[in-house]
Structure 1
Amino acid sequence: MTKKKNFPLRIDPKLYEVLQVWAKDEFRSVNSHVEFLLKEAAKKAGRFPKDGENNK
């Protein structure tokens, strides 16, 4: 298993509340939901390999 990078994140409290509810609705922790959202955005922008593609 790959070790994940830790870093502090400052976020608007109102946005955090939205993420908390959204994560709960998706049965995820806030941390894993933020990672999921960022990964999906990176894939959509062509910055991250889509599932099944080799890392460049």
Structure 2
Amino acid sequence: MGVTFAGPGVTELVHSATFAVAGEIPVERLWHAVPAFPTLGEVWPRLLETYRGP
């Protein structure tokens, strides 16, 4: 899996995505990661819902 981001504020997403990809962390384990609030990083739960469902 790889990750590509484009747009303003993506620097908030790159850090977490780098760890997830480099660490080969499966989507199922990412559900247990709690992003700091409030940040653009809150996109992760929504992204995971896309792949796993609610």
TM-score by structure 2 length?
A: 0.31
Structure number, greater radius of gyration: 1
Higher relative contact order (CA 8 A, sep 6+): 2
